[in-house]
Amino acid sequence: MLIPPVCKTSLYDIISITKSQMPFLATNRERVNGMKKQQIKWVMLCLLCILTACGGNSSSAPSAPASNETNNQEAETFTTTLTEPVELEFWHAMTGDHETALKAIVDTFNSEHENITVKPVPQGNYGDLQQKIMAAAKAKNLPAIAQATSDAVPMYAANDFLISFTPYVENEEVGLSEEELEDVVEVFRASSQWNNEYYAMPFSKSTRILFYNQGLLEENGQEVPTTWGEVRSVAEAITTDTVTGMGFENDLLSEFQAVLKQMGGQYMEEETGEITFNTDEGIAALTLIDSMIADGIARTAGEDGFMSNPFGRGDVGMYIGSSAGLPFVAAAAEGNIEWGASTLPSFEGTEATQFAGNDVVAFNQGTQEEQLASWLFAKYLISPEVTADWSMKTGYLPVRYSAQELPEYQAYVEENPGHAVGTKQFDAGFFTARLENSNAVRTIVNEEIENAILDRKSVEEALLAAEERGTEELGN
């Protein structure tokens, strides 16, 4: 039997009014006591009649709280119990050895959770992954969970694709204790929050480090540089007709941001959404990088795609790249060069290192049970043992402080000291400003930096163009 619209509206109105007036009535006893009994009986009788008349379709009424342990809002939005098997698609951008390591972690998780099956689904690189997520959101066919770069999270959150992990994090039954939460590396914990909500959990986090050809430095009587001034002088000393002293990845934005921050500048202001890199500090930071390339003592990866191969062949004496590139460097350098890794150079004693990589997010198109299972998987990924294992196999950084104290991890970094470099930079770490269109701004700034590097524009012209184009993209 269908409920007449007027009846349905009246029922919700009365429930809404009743709920809204309960605190008022509870604190105004004099007014309540002054009501005549006949009036009270009349109101109750009317309410009873409406409820009885509208009782033919109970599914349309708001659901009752699942338990007394959660408030009404929480009870309507998430559950903490799985009673039936749940299958989750996990979209990711891992390839090669990274994908193999991820599959092993997923297999172990599945074996330990009888009601949850996670199916990892590769989606190409990070750009491909983001495009497919946007398309799936439009088609209302999102997976349960996925990797996401930190600067993509605001866009997903603003478009209402994501669930907030905060209710789960704070839940006594399935969440994290205060001690566990504080054990998450501070810069990663901060970058996982947006508008004071945990819309993500850190997973494959990386930072920039300096790779160097140990044999080449020794042959030329050079020490590992620790400042940008030393980088320039060492690069000059080891550059020959066949070797370029210094190398950068094609994407120079991370280095630009790091030098800019070391010089006292800022890339963008997250709170105001303002672009702030076109300053004296910005010009000096980009000039520092551009001048080494212009003078022939530095180069970008160019057609090689990534600098690990030219470095491994011995074509480049040093380069700055992601800590996640450690396995690729090791493979490229095997049998060719003796190499090492060190922290990012500082500027006049100031250290600053951008932390990047990706997080794990869960989407809100799934059931409550799928969302709970997604949280449990995200929580598993940041457990000390799992993040330590992931770090050792991939070169990504452990996201928990306690993971670094595990005997297996300590033994590993003793044998592979390059894997410990990134963790030495936690205190100097920062993450880029996260704005809804920050990915588009990133593309613009990289284009303009390339214009400066290729002498299509001066440094000043490139930064001005990047500021103007970026500001327009942000709608400011």
For the chain, the domains span 86-205+357-415, 206-356+418-474
Mean pLDDT of 393-409: 95
The larger pLDDT score, comparing residue 155 to residue 239, is at 239
Q: Which residues contact residue 192 at a Cβ distance below 8 angstroms, ignoring those fewer than 6 apart?
A: 150, 184, 198, 199, 200, 201, 202, 359
Mean pLDDT of 206-219: 96
pLDDT tens string 177-212: 999 999 999 999 998 988 889 999 999 999 999 999
What single string gives the DSSP state of each residue in 186-216?
Answer: HHHHHHTEETTEE--EEEEEEEEEEEEEHHH
Q: What is the DSSP letter of 183?
A: H
Lowest-confidence segment of 59-63, 88-92, 351-355, 445-449 by average pLDDT: 59-63
Q: Give the percent of the chain with pLDDT over 90.
A: 72
The structural architecture, per CATH, of the domain 206-356+418-474 is 3-Layer(aba) Sandwich (3.40)
pLDDT in the model for residue 23: 36
pLDDT tens string 9-42: 333 333 333 333 333 333 333 333 443 334 434 4
pLDDT tens string 279-320: 999 999 999 999 999 999 999 999 999 999 999 999 999 999
Backbone torsion region of residue 472, taken as left when φ is above 0, otherwise alpha when ψ lies between -120 and 50, otherwise beta: alpha
pLDDT in the model for residue 16: 37
pLDDT tens string 79-137: 888 989 999 999 999 998 899 999 999 999 999 999 999 999 999 998 899 999 999 99
Dihedral pair phi/psi, residue 207, rounded to 5°: -145, 170
pLDDT in the model for residue 321: 95
pLDDT in the model for residue 12: 33
Mean pLDDT of 265-282: 94
The Cα–Cα gap between 267 and 261 comes to 8
Specify whether domain 86-205+357-415 bears CATH 3.50.50.60.
no
